Structure formats: C-alpha cells, structure tokens
Amino acid sequence: MRTRREQPIQIKSPGQIASMRKAGLVVAHTLDVLADAVEPGISTADLDAIAEREIRGAGAVPSFKGYHGYPATICTSVNEQIVHGIPSDAVRLAAGDVISIDCGAIVDGWHGDAARTVAVGPVAGELAGLLLACERALWSGLAQASAGNRLSDISHAVETSARASGRYGIVREYVGHGIGTEMHMDPPVPNHGRPGNGPVLREGMALAIEPMLVLGSPQTRLLDDGWTVVTADGSRSAHFEHTVAVTASGPWVLTAEDGGRSGFERLRGEPATGQAEHPAAGAGSRS
C-alpha cells in the first residue's frame, strides 16, 4: 500500500479478531489451492478464476475486486513484477518463473490479506534463496507482533533477517499496513528501520506484514496499466505477506492455517541461509 495521513490504530475485540480469523482461513485455503494449481502453461487469469470461486464458495467476498478500480480477485506478479500484477489470459506461467500471488477476502465485514511467492518448477539456486529469505524475513517480523513491542521492532526484525540472509534489495516504496474493517488501515508497516520507534503494539491490533525482496536494486517502476509494480532494473522479486493479530498469548497469524505455529518453529529451528550469523529469534519475544 501507499502511505496516507495516520489515524488511530483500530483495536478489535476478541470476537472481531475471531471474524478476522475466518477471513484469514479463507485466504489461507485459497492460497493453498492456487499454489497447487501453479504449473507451466496455466494463465494468471485461470488462477484468478480459481481464487474467486474458492473465496465466494466459502461465503466470503474478494476484497481486491473493485478496490480503487482494481479489476481482479488476486494480484499475480511474475518474475520482475513485485506486487499488484493484474491477472491476464495473455500471461502464461513457464518453468523457472516465480509468481507472487496476493489474495484478500472479507467475512462479516472483516478482512484477511496474505501473499506468497511460488516457484514454477525448479528455479535457479539464487532465486530459491531469494524466496526463502523473503519468507523468513516475514516470519521474523511476525514474531515481533507482541503486546508491548513497538511497531518499528517489526520493521527492524524484517530488515535484520533479510540482511542476514544475503545481499538482497529491500523494497521501500511499498509497505505493510494495519487491517480490520478495511484492507488498508493505519499504521503503515515499513520493512526496514531502527527498533524501538512508533506506536506501542496492543492486544486487539492487527497488521499485514509484507516484505518485498529483490535480487538487484530495490528501485521500483509502475507500468502503464497503473497497477503493476516492477523492479526498475528488471531483477527478480519475492513477496510474502500474512495478517497477524496481537493477542494476550502472542502473535496469532490469522492467514496461516495453524495460526503460525509451524512458521515460528521453523524460524527458531533453522539458521539463516546467508553468509552472516543470525541468532534465532523467539516467537513473540523481544530478542
């Protein structure tokens, strides 16, 4: 999202967070189905049709369709496209591509928003490393979504993780966001920064954290369609996103089927892939 004037951060009741969880599970399931459908030859319009069928079949509403005139249910961003790629019959996936699939759904007026980048068949080692680094950076940020932490603790954790994994560009022109009764709410959630700044995180807040890492320069360019954001240098990009709630028992990843358990376990158990040493972060703790 882009940044606007800041509003107070919306605080949700446990019942409202439960509605957001329903939306999150629809998004998680839809992304699972889409990831399974990814194969050489499928068009991004085919993926969009699958997404709309899954979301509406679950009794939810696609949140992207019609958002500021956006024409589709999901965003499909292939290779050098970073975010907000528009599904098209003309775009067919090929072996060696990577595709960010971004999906949002509304249940009872409450939003869920998540994205993952999927490789089409085997991809170059450098590209596989980019995807792993971006997903790990996301989980490092999610682990900081605990009451009492500051917003920039999340940003700092994302940046620190990304840098520990390798020499990746961190996109700065697009950021994560608050989420609740709208998809994009305050506060903006940058993917870089010093720790200890910004609002204190409180129970009942919900955030969408979405790092975008690239193999080259993090400079972006907007295509003539008015939506698709690409790397200025044409280098490949990765994008992962989850919606997380700040709860009394720590971060609850609403768009992960298991609430984040396995993602946080992986983060604790696996060393960073890059050259730098990286102490494992504790889920929900301030490390």
Footprint of ligand MF3 (CB under 6 A): 1, 64, 67-68, 70, 75, 84, 102, 104, 113, 208, 210
Given candidates 98, 185, 201, 208, which one binds Co ion under the rule CB under 5 A? 208
Q: Which is nearer to ligand MF3, 17 or 86 (CB)?
A: 86
Task: Convert residues 58-97 into a mask of x (bound to Co ion by CB under 5 A) and - (unbound).
Answer: ----------------------------------------
Whether the CB-CB separation of 170 and 270 falls below 8 Å is answered with: no
In the complex with ligand MF3, the residue whose CB is nearer, 105 or 143, is 105
Task: Report which of 187, 176, 101 is spatially closest to residue 141, judged by C-alpha positions.
Answer: 176
How far, rounded to the nearest angstrom, does the alpha carbon of residue 217 sit from its chain's CA centroid? 20
- Least distance to Co ion, CB of residue 136, Å: 19
Ordered DSSP codes for 38-52: --TT-BHHHHHHHHH
Strand stretches in the chain, DSSP E: 61-62, 74-78, 81-83, 98-107, 110-119, 169-170, 176-178, 185-189, 206-209, 212-214, 220-222, 229-231, 237-239, 242-247, 250-253
160 beta partners: none
Minimum CB–partner distance for residue 84 and ligand MF3 (Å): 5
- 158 contact choice in ligand MF3, Co ion, none (CB below 5 to 8 Å, kind-dependent): none
Tell me the closest approach of the beta carbon of residue 17 to Co ion, in angstroms: 17
Closest distance between Co ion and the C-beta of residue 18, in Å?
A: 21
Residue (1 or 137) nearer to ligand MF3, CB: 1
* Distance (Å, whole) CA 54 – CA 131: 25
- Of the pair 115, 281, the CB lying nearest ligand MF3 is at 115
Does 103 bind Co ion (CB under 5 A)? Our answer is no
Residue 246's nearest CA partner among 23, 13, 6 is: 13
Report CA-CA distances (Å) from 229 to 20, 123, 146, 212, 286.
28, 22, 31, 11, 33
CA 218 – CA 170 distance, rounded (Å): 6
Residue 104 binding: pick among ligand MF3, Co ion, none (C-beta 5-8 Å cut-off by kind): ligand MF3
Q: Between residues 139 and 174, which has the closer beta carbon with respect to ligand MF3?
A: 174
Total of chain residues touching Co ion, rule CB under 5 A: 2
- Under the binding rule (CB under 5 A), the answer on residue 113 touching Co ion is yes
Judged by DSSP in three states, 132 sits in helix
The binding site for Co ion (CB under 5 A) comprises 113, 208
